[in-house]
Amino acid sequence: MNAGLWTAEQSAAADSHTMGPLGLPSLVLMERAALAVAHAVEERAGLTPTASRRVEVLCGPGNNGADGFAVARILAGRGWTVGATSCCSGGHEARQSQADWARRHGVTIRSMSELEAIASGPNLVFVDALLGTGSRGAPRGPIAAAISWLNRQRGQVVAIDVPSGVEPDTGAVPGEAVAARVTVTFQRSKPGLHISPGCSAAGRVVIADIGLVAPPSVEANVRLLTPAWAKAAARSSPAEHKGQRGHVGIVGGTGGTPGAAMLAGLAALRAGAGLVTWFTDHPPRLEPAVGRAEIMFDVLARLVERNDVSALVVGPGLTRETDLSLSQLYLEDRRPAVWDAGALARVPFDGTPAGFRCLTPHAGEAAGLMTRLRGEPWSARKVQSQRWFVATTLARRTGAQVLLKGRGTVIVDPSGRAELLPIGSDRLATAGSGDVLAGAIAAGLAGPGVPDLARVSGRAGFLHALAGELANRRRPGTVAGDIVDALCVARSVVDGDAADTTAELHGARAWLTAVLPQPYRG
């Protein structure tokens, strides 16, 4: 699987380059695409045609509709009972030709007026060939009606390229979108398939190599995080003692929330840091519930002069004003730092920080940042509907890398370079989970031999999501402390020897194989 993603514009450029300078006919590309989709449909329906299993293809305008008619023709030729509904009138020549060929191969082609007459059921597989990557905005007219009808049916849906109604570049869903079980996308995956809410509509993503080649000028600056990518982002030099593994400083845990800072510190240690010191104006009582002997303490006033501390986490459990100017710390401290939770409200805009910064807001915290930045109310729901826009805007205005947490985590640098996290679940939606992630990122920032600081957060995000899955396998009802404890095993899954087949590691690798986008080569 190629981890570089193509936007809709880049996909169109690859189409033009492949059919133009490279001379590959569009009918060849269309046939390859249709074969890949037909294979996915057969996997959904069972590889052997039966009288009780049917396929219905909903075809829109343009190449997506043409692909749909080609899929219908191929499946009919293999013995399936196939129907197709033309959800628009007219269409270009290729679409008309594919519709004629499908009809000659026994495909029943209906008009929109006949859609309601289709008998639905669990043995029916639908193909969404309504809209392609060129679609923008909320679906309208007959296409919107077809999407609404499709989402009310009982059968499974295989979407072509992107589920209709999902913005391919941003994952935004401005109207109603098809809820697919599988999406077959071509040559490279698209960002919108991995950003919420689009990723929820996409289901499992299959990437079909159909022979598209992008022109040399096209550079995929959005990447999908993979286990191999996460492994390559680890520090390159082994540590001989704890000092060489990095020293993380935690700023937070004021008032009644000492546990947040403790979780961040423990996560940093589990993720590979050699030392952790908690800096606070309000030292906690070392009760068994929150105290750990591995965590050291110091007063906040000494933070700036502690040159032995190599990376910071600022914000976990930070509920009170501090004697330290956080905006000054953000702009002037040269150490790499993760800013999270209570510290996010103190992040200045339009300044240039002296060191690497990573902000890790959830949707509610991002809404607070956007409200402050734009002078108008933003809600968590509004953030969720525009995750790509929010992450890129905040990265540009804060001079920081932004990791916007949630389903379809987005990681964006001020330069526009971006990574998307294809794993994660609601098992991470528990108190303290974000503190664990912040500590894991800081562990990577603190250690020597890291090839690229900007890649550390993606690695930590991958390990964090995997640890959540591992923790739930061990004991359902995951809490943040369980995620901390599972970080070590997550590191072994990503970094260890592939020949290691202990039951837990084998199960985790099998789970990754099942949920990550899959390649298809016909």
Prediction pTM value: 0.92
Pick from 132, 146, 155: which is nearest to 55 by CA? 155
- Which residues share a beta bridge with 520? 208
The yes or no reply on domain 4-221 and CATH 3.40.50.10260 is yes
| Residue 330 near residue 353, CB atoms below 8 Å | yes
Helices 456-474 and 503-515, interaxial angle, to 10°?
A: 120
451-482 confidence digits (pLDDT tens): 789 999 999 999 999 999 999 999 888 999 99
Pick from 434, 435, 405, 400: which is nearest to 420 by CA? 405
User: What integer pLDDT is reported at residue 26 of this predicted model?
Assistant: 95
Pick from 61, 98, 103: which is nearest to 82 by CA? 103
- Residue span(s) of the chain under CATH 3.40.50.10260 come to 4-221
Residues ≥6 apart with Cβ < 8 Å to 476: none
Cα–Cα distance measured from residue 343 to residue 105, given in angstroms and rounded to the nearest whole number: 64
* Under-50 pLDDT residues of the chain: 286-289
The 3-class secondary structure across 14-45, one letter per residue, is: HHHHHHCCCCCCHHHHHHHHHHHHHHHHHHHH
User: What integer pLDDT is reported at residue 286 of this predicted model?
Assistant: 47
| Residue 487 near residue 440, CB atoms below 8 Å | yes
Cα–Cα distance measured from residue 165 to residue 144, given in angstroms and rounded to the nearest whole number: 8
Pair of tokens at residue 24: 């590959």
Cα–Cα distance measured from residue 378 to residue 386, given in angstroms and rounded to the nearest whole number: 11
Cα–Cα distance measured from residue 296 to residue 275, given in angstroms and rounded to the nearest whole number: 8
Cα–Cα distance measured from residue 92 to residue 244, given in angstroms and rounded to the nearest whole number: 64
Class of domain 228-515: alpha beta
SS3 314: strand
User: What integer pLDDT is reported at residue 285 of this predicted model?
Assistant: 54
- Residue span(s) of the chain under CATH 3.40.1190.20 come to 228-515
